[in-house]
Amino acid sequence: MKKKALIFGISGQDGAYLSRLLLKKGYVVHGVVRRSSSINTFRLDEIYNDPFSPKKNLILHYGDVTDSMSVLNIVQKIRPNEIYNLAAQSHVAVSFEIPEYTTNADALGTLRILEAIIKIDKKIKFYQAGSSEMFGRVVENPQTEKTPFYPRSPYGVAKVYAYWITLNYRESYNLFACNGILFNHESPLRGETFVTKKVVKALCKIKYKKQKKLILGNLNAKRDWGHAEDYVEAMWKMLQQKKPDDFVICTGKQYTIKNFINKVANILKIKITWKGKGIKEKGFDGNGNCIIECNKKYFRPAEVDTLKGNYSKAKKILKWRPKKNLDSLINDMISYELNLLNK
């Protein structure tokens, strides 16, 4: 009999890549999507087959992690072998504007799924999507599974709660529950409001004179960027082990947002000259036009200046390592955006 996986947050970037991976491995994949007046499952279009077909292997259900009865009913109905919780209000800056909802979805949403598991079937394996934002104002570099958390946003705080409640239920109820502490991971399917997507999309448009300027926040923030397609494999590997554990998933390499911009510009053959410092720093093209500038609007109330992970534990136990480097990731994202522009 085929394994059944249930993905909360299937319509996001990670949910789409994880669905593809699990389908290739022969799973029947169930996904939870929130009801919306506009279609929000475009990332699944390539793999979502006829919902009325008797042989369908990808099945979508309406639900929401902020609704405990919804979570309980879905888990009861499907009784999956594995649950992946990727559902979240995942935009860090936005979490300052809607902290209560962020906490409800990202922290208590995890608790609701864990409660459903202990009520329905304690043998269900559970993956919780953690974040490098839990490290926040880092106390050591690089960050490992033993690095203390110091979150700097409502999102980071909510994820820390989700981490500890997952660990607590694992120890209290003997659940197979794992935390993946994933550092920034991008792809062509990244959401429109995330900085890597904004940069690639804008510079592609600027290249073809369909946009004049890109406005960003902190250009000097340092991040450890990987490819989402690599990272979902690590999620799956965690649930295939003999015992549950928590893992940092990252590349171990760090770049500033300015470095990222320069790499995208080089591939697109856009020459950028930087002038000024801090909030007054601007990027000019070869004709002297200002195409990049900073605005305080895009700075967070509490910034996270640097994040860089160490995936030694995942390499040793999961036999996992990132396959795609930053240049490969950027090329994937550029190809996707240029294809959209030329349609």
- 34-65: per-residue pLDDT in tens? 876 455 676 777 766 555 455 579 999 999 99
Closest CA to 137 of 300, 311, 303: 303
| Residue 268 is assigned to a structural domain of this protein | no
| Residue 280 is assigned to a structural domain of this protein | no
Cis preceding linkage at 142, omega within 30: yes
| Residue 265 is assigned to a structural domain of this protein | no
CATH of the domain at 33: 3.40.50.720
pLDDT at site 82: 98
Pair of tokens at residue 185: 């991971």
pLDDT at site 34: 84
Give the whole-angstrom CA distance, residue 299 versus residue 279.
Answer: 10
| Residue 98 is assigned to a structural domain of this protein | yes
| Residue 174 is assigned to a structural domain of this protein | yes
Mean of pLDDT values over 287-305: 92
pLDDT at site 38: 52
Closest CA to 257 of 332, 326, 310, 340: 326
β partners of residue 255: 223
Assess contact for 237 and 321: CB atoms under 8 A.
no
pLDDT in tens, 165-200: 999 999 999 999 999 999 999 999 999 889 999 999
Closest CA to 88 of 72, 104, 68, 100: 104
pLDDT at site 3: 96
| Residue 278 is assigned to a structural domain of this protein | no
Mean of pLDDT values over 127-148: 97
**Domain extent for 125:** 4-188+226-253+305-324
Amino acid at 208: Y
CA 62, 83, 32 angle in degrees (round to 5)? 10
Give the whole-angstrom CA distance, residue 214 versus residue 307.
Answer: 24
Round the average pLDDT of the chain to a whole number and report it. Answer: 94
pLDDT in tens, 251-283: 999 999 999 999 999 999 999 999 999 899 999
| Residue 337 is assigned to a structural domain of this protein | no
| Residue 275 is assigned to a structural domain of this protein | no
Assign 133 a pLDDT band (cuts: 50, 70, 90).
very high
Assess contact for 211 and 205: CB atoms under 8 A.
yes
3-state secondary structure of 286: coil
Query: How many independent structural domains does the chain possess?
Result: 1
